[in-house]
């Protein structure tokens, strides 16, 4: 067998394994939080990307919204590294929601896209309940920009001022994060 033929055969076998892994991943329960953590701010690159991603996973609960809020706030200064197309294709079993052109200008979280997409997908989400569920081990606000991002997301989602009571009505298990 020539080296090219052996190489093609190995690539085909590798492609079969990749397709099998992607199909397996799609058939299992895909977590919105997991996909967003993998894609980072690339998830909100365009309204279409975010909308299609939200439609491809189960409707988020207030617990999942709290996890999303924590992640977006913590990574508020993330830069889109163009991982969107590859990541979402793998996570959703081959369904490509964005094109593979990652040459566009890098940017961070698009908060309007994030909020509007969630409000369209899940109009009955209780945003203040999600804030009250931020008492989790992974919640951290590493700098003031993180808190500003959290407040801004809430304001855009509800049109209301940030409800301090949601974070201060009782002592959290994660007291360090509560005091941050």
Residue 143 backbone zone (phi > 0: left; psi -120 to 50: alpha; other: beta):
beta
More confident call, 13 vs 180: 180
Whether the Cβ atoms of residue 106 and residue 45 lie closer than 8 Å to each other: no
Flag whether pLDDT at 144 surpasses 50: yes
Per-residue pLDDT tens over the stretch 27-57: 346 789 999 998 888 999 999 999 999 999 9
Per-residue pLDDT tens over the stretch 71-127: 999 998 876 555 444 444 444 444 444 433 333 334 689 999 999 999 999 999 999
pLDDT of residue 98: 40
pLDDT of residue 79: 67
Where do we find the tokens 């967003």? 36
Q: What is the 3-state secondary structure (H, E, C) of the chain?
A: CCHHHHHHHHHHHHHHHHHHHHHHHHHCCCCHHHHHHHHHHHHHCCHHHHHHHHHCCCCCCHHHHHHHHHHHHHCCCCCCCCCHHHHHHHHCCCCCCCCCCCCCCCCCCCHHHHHHHHHHHCCCCCHHHHHHCCCCCCCCCCCHHHHHHHHHHHHHHHCCCCCCHHHHCCCCCCHHHHHC
Per-residue pLDDT tens over the stretch 18-35: 223 323 333 346 789 999
């Amino acid at each position: 067998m020539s080296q090219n033929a052996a190489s093609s055969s190995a690539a085909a076998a590798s492609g079969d394994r990749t397709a099998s892994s992607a199909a397996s991943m799609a058939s299992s329960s895909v977590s919105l939080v997991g996909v967003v953590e993998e894609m980072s701010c690339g998830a909100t690159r365009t309204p279409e990307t975010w909308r299609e991603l939200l439609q491809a996973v189960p409707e988020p609960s207030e617990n999942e919204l709290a996890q999303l809020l924590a992640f977006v706030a913590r990574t508020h200064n993330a830069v889109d590294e163009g991982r969107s197309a590859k990541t979402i294709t793998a996570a959703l079993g081959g369904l490509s929601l964005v094109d593979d052109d990652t040459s566009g200008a890098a940017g961070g979280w698009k908060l309007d896209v994030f909020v509007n997409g969630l409000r369209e997908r899940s109009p009955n989400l209780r945003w203040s309940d999600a804030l009250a569920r931020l008492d989790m081990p992974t919640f951290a606000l590493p700098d003031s920009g993180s808190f500003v991002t959290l407040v801004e997301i809430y304001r855009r989602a509800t049109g209301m001022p940030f409800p301090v009571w949601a974070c201060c009505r009782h002592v959290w298990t994660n007291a360090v994060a509560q005091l941050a």
